[in-house]
Structure 1
Amino acid sequence: MEKQKITPHPGFKEALKFWFKLGWISFGGTAGHIAIMHDYLVDKKKWISNSKFLHALNHCMILPGPEAQQLSIYIGWLLHGKRGGLAAGILFVLPSMFILLALSITYVLFGSIPWVTALFAGLKPAVIAIIVLAMFKIAQKALHGPLHYFVAVVAFVCIFFFNTSLITIIGGTIIFAIGCRLIRPAALQVKPSQAEATADESGYVLNKNTLTADSGLKIKPGLQLLGAGLLLWLFPFLLFFLFLSDFSFWKHLSLFFTQTAFVTIGGSYTVLPYVAQFSVTKLNWLSKLQMMDGFALAETTPGPLIIVLSFVGFMAGYNHFGGSLWMGTVGLLVTTYFTFLPCFLLVFIGAPLIEKTHGNAMIESTLGLITAAVVGVILNLTLYLGKDVLFPDGIMINKLDPLAFAWILVSLVLMHQFKLNILYLIGLSMGYGLLHYLLRGVW
């Protein structure tokens, strides 16, 4: 087999151009983000080998936070250290944040206009279809046997029937995985890929044989990072106290989204049910229909789907301060800051350790069960949001909205069978909602 030509290490400016571009074109959810990065970084530029890329991706799922953004931070760190990770992670989020801010302001200013309401009415069934398809895609990768199906069912039952907290479900899954590993490790065994073991990776800048200088446990740098992270986390509270009214609201908002940032394990869909239920039913920051509209808006932006939390923060500030666009904007910025700040800290502290965990069976098996639990959590999200779309007047068979049900099916067929881009589906759905309004009025 011919040895591959060695690729030169990319300069920081060259990498910066890609991270900037990625922030504006990363549509299609986590799968789309990962596909774009893999196509460019692995196939085209050969900056990182396939096995190294997958190793980073799999372990980013262990870390709380959106794994696509975590992956960009991780690879940026591998290529150019902390400045590379900061550039990759910040540029991954900023475009979607500014776009969502503009959409949120437009939403509260014009969302009550009938034809605008019709546009969002057409989007809601498509959003349900997107979530359903995401659930099945994750299930295909996560459910490998009876044990994984069992964990998914238990997770769903706990959160749907008993309103068990997400933290409890994740913690219980980890304990269960450890117990299974000790009692019957064969049940958790994952078969390695034979193709990757024989692949020639010598031509890649980063490959499975690359030694990272910062890998391993180092106490002093870790403590310095923790100290810097704590200061960055505390500083906004000083600004709240000095410059904003109702300090308790901003403190509650910041603590809530800090907490969600640390329980987002397995992707954005893991934490969204928790945020949707808690912010709607307990905190009354926004209505359930507004939450659905937030999902639709987030789907129209690049970047991670968890950016929908920024919309929740906008609506919380907007509603709490009597329809203030300024307070809504501050709420969005605060939510974005506290949602994504832990991502950088966790990667910078965790990545050096992760570089030492390649092939660790215990971590891999635990990750597998956590991902299985995610399937049950996403099913809960689907039912929680879908019931108001399909049964707007109450859950009775004769109250089913046939048009919404039909558009969910059409959306699923378009995405699954015809691989229609989500942006095109959103456009079609908005057009469908507007057409329905013009013909029969708002549904």
Structure 2
Amino acid sequence: MNPNLIEVAQVFFKLGCFAFGGPAAHIAMMEDEIIEKRKWMTREYFLDLIGTTNLIPGPNSTEMTMHCGYERAGKAGLFVAGISFIFPATIITAILAYLYVKYGKLPEVEPFMYGIKPAVLAIIASAILKLSKKALKSTELIILGILVLVVSLLGVNEIVALLAAGILGMLYFYMKSKARTNLNTFSPLLLFLGINTTIAKISTLKLFLIFLKVGAILYGSGYVLFAYLDAELVTRGLLTRAELIDAIAMGQFTPGPVLSTSTFIGYQLNGFTGALVATTGIFLPSFLFVLILNPFIPRMRKSTILRYFLDSVNVAAVAVMFAVLLVMARDTLIDWQSIVIALIATILIFRTKIGPIWTIIMGVFLGFILSDFIK
């Protein structure tokens, strides 16, 4: 078997077991594993992958695993990376769904999860610092990044901010450069999968098509996923809102992509078969998007005007990560316990050689101990 393929499976399975904290944290942990430790690609190209991934539907961090797997081991690597990253969360969520259906309530996991978010803040901050050194290539890009940060904190949709930054930067740098060479015809930047199917009455097929549709058009965080699933499931009477809230909570509690929520909901609606088809449906579009988009990224770098677009989007992506970090810090650092965990994690990440995974484990341990002081 291809040794690169084995390496891809090992790396992303490990990340799938420990990657808590949402897409920004997942990407930060990937940066450590792929750029710092293994040097699979340059940090600049990793930034290109982040920028382009942010512009297509689907779970950003999961699609990043697919891009990285593709770069390391070709098309087979794309599928191995994605499946390896998704698999742990899917299994954990399926077990939790079984317990939920059998006993009617969620397991008590809050004490174990309490310390993870403060620890994750340091991991994200470290990745932002490293990526910004490559992204901030000029004064103009710094200004563009600050603008994106401000509008993101004001609540502007991240996709709108990224696209606007890309177009604005592309036009500005093109006019500044006064390029003499002829520009190539634009390559397609985005592929949108439109689904307008009459859903069959067969429950498993109906479930598959619902989650396929959501996976094909979903942008944004777990809160956006809640809105999509509320419209698709609650309004159709397939699920109560309380059950949906519990499912989203489980997606937040488990490592890996929050879209593992689909496994939980699928099991609730149709047992093991439902969990399988819901999980397949919601992640399938991401595999297709990455498979089609990845070969275009090096070509985009070779085109002058698209290179300007990528540089601008990359700066915007780092700014959006920074905005996420600030919002997470505001919501997380609410007591002395969380501040202590965050400070210890910062020292570990910036002053020692301890990696993100051990920092996460430290956060779980300290969170469990210190949560007893919270009343």
TM, length-normalised to structure 2: 0.71
2:115 is paired with a residue whose SS is helix
Find the counterpart in structure 2 of residue 30 from structure 1: 30
Find the counterpart in structure 2 of residue 45 from structure 1: none
- Residue deviations 1:195-225, cap 9 Å, x none? xxxxxxxxxxxxxxxxxxxxx99x9xx9xxx
- 1:381 is aligned, of 310, 313, 324, to 324
In the alignment, the residues of structure 2 paired with residue 151 and residue 131 of structure 1 have an alpha-carbon distance, to the nearest angstrom, of 21
- Residue deviations 1:19-70, cap 9 Å, x none? 444444567722134237845x6xxxxxxxx7xx678656545543644531
Matches within 5 A, 1:95-244: 95-107=84-96, 109=99, 112-114=106-108, 116-161=109-154, 163-185=155-177, 241=200, 243-244=202-203
Find the counterpart in structure 1 of residue 83 from structure 2: 94
> Retained in 1: the 8 A contact 2:349–2:355?
yes
2:336 matches 1:402: yes
In the alignment, the residues of structure 1 paired with residue 226 and residue 345 of structure 2 have an alpha-carbon distance, to the nearest angstrom, of 27
1:100 CA displacement: 0.8
1:420 is paired with a residue whose SS is coil
In the alignment, the residues of structure 2 paired with residue 315 and residue 384 of structure 1 have an alpha-carbon distance, to the nearest angstrom, of 27
In the alignment, the residues of structure 1 paired with residue 246 and residue 147 of structure 2 have an alpha-carbon distance, to the nearest angstrom, of 26
- Residue deviations 1:289-321, cap 9 Å, x none? 956x746633xxxxxxxx5143243355567x5
Matches within 5 A, 1:269-418: 274-280=220-226, 294=251, 297-298=254-255, 307-315=256-264, 317=266, 321=269, 327-348=274-295, 350=296, 354-355=298-299, 359-390=302-333, 400-418=334-352
CA, structure 1 residues 378+294, in 2 after alignment: closer, same or farther (shift >3 Å)?
farther
1:413 CA displacement: 1.4
- Residue deviations 1:265-300, cap 9 Å, x none? xxxxxx6xx223423467558659956x746633xx
1:149 CA displacement: 2.5
Q: How many residues align?
A: 332
1:98 CA displacement: 1.7
> Retained in 1: the 8 A contact 2:47–2:131?
no
Write the letter of the residue equivalent to 1:177.
G
1:387 CA displacement: 3.3
CA, structure 1 residues 135+123, in 2 after alignment: closer, same or farther (shift >3 Å)?
same
In the alignment, the residues of structure 1 paired with residue 246 and residue 160 of structure 2 have an alpha-carbon distance, to the nearest angstrom, of 24
CA, structure 1 residues 370+95, in 2 after alignment: closer, same or farther (shift >3 Å)?
same
Write the letter of the residue equivalent to 1:30.
M
CA, structure 1 residues 136+107, in 2 after alignment: closer, same or farther (shift >3 Å)?
farther
In the alignment, the residues of structure 2 paired with residue 132 and residue 258 of structure 1 have an alpha-carbon distance, to the nearest angstrom, of 30
1:69 is paired with a residue whose SS is helix
In the alignment, the residues of structure 2 paired with residue 388 and residue 119 of structure 1 have an alpha-carbon distance, to the nearest angstrom, of 18
Show structure 2 runs of 5+ residues with no match.
Answer: 17-27, 54-59, 231-240
From the CA coordinates, give the structure whose radius of gyration is larger.
1
1:127 CA displacement: 2.6
In the alignment, the residues of structure 1 paired with residue 301 and residue 228 of structure 2 have an alpha-carbon distance, to the nearest angstrom, of 42
Write the letter of the residue equivalent to 1:376.
A
- Residue deviations 1:342-377, cap 9 Å, x none? 1112225x26xx35x665443333222111111221
CA, structure 1 residues 295+36, in 2 after alignment: closer, same or farther (shift >3 Å)?
farther
In the alignment, the residues of structure 1 paired with residue 351 and residue 72 of structure 2 have an alpha-carbon distance, to the nearest angstrom, of 33
Write the letter of the residue equivalent to 1:72.
G
CA, structure 1 residues 170+255, in 2 after alignment: closer, same or farther (shift >3 Å)?
farther
CA, structure 1 residues 379+287, in 2 after alignment: closer, same or farther (shift >3 Å)?
farther
In the alignment, the residues of structure 2 paired with residue 282 and residue 86 of structure 1 have an alpha-carbon distance, to the nearest angstrom, of 30
Percent sequence identity over matched residues? Answer: 14
CA, structure 1 residues 408+154, in 2 after alignment: closer, same or farther (shift >3 Å)?
same
In the alignment, the residues of structure 1 paired with residue 77 and residue 215 of structure 2 have an alpha-carbon distance, to the nearest angstrom, of 22
> Retained in 1: the 8 A contact 2:65–2:78?
no
CA, structure 1 residues 325+75, in 2 after alignment: closer, same or farther (shift >3 Å)?
closer
In the alignment, the residues of structure 2 paired with residue 388 and residue 59 of structure 1 have an alpha-carbon distance, to the nearest angstrom, of 29
In the alignment, the residues of structure 1 paired with residue 345 and residue 140 of structure 2 have an alpha-carbon distance, to the nearest angstrom, of 32
> Retained in 1: the 8 A contact 2:121–2:342?
yes
In the alignment, the residues of structure 2 paired with residue 58 and residue 136 of structure 1 have an alpha-carbon distance, to the nearest angstrom, of 13
Write the letter of the residue equivalent to 1:347.
N
CA, structure 1 residues 140+281, in 2 after alignment: closer, same or farther (shift >3 Å)?
farther
Show structure 1 runs of 5+ residues with no match.
Answer: 1-11, 42-49, 77-84, 189-215, 261-270, 299-306, 391-399
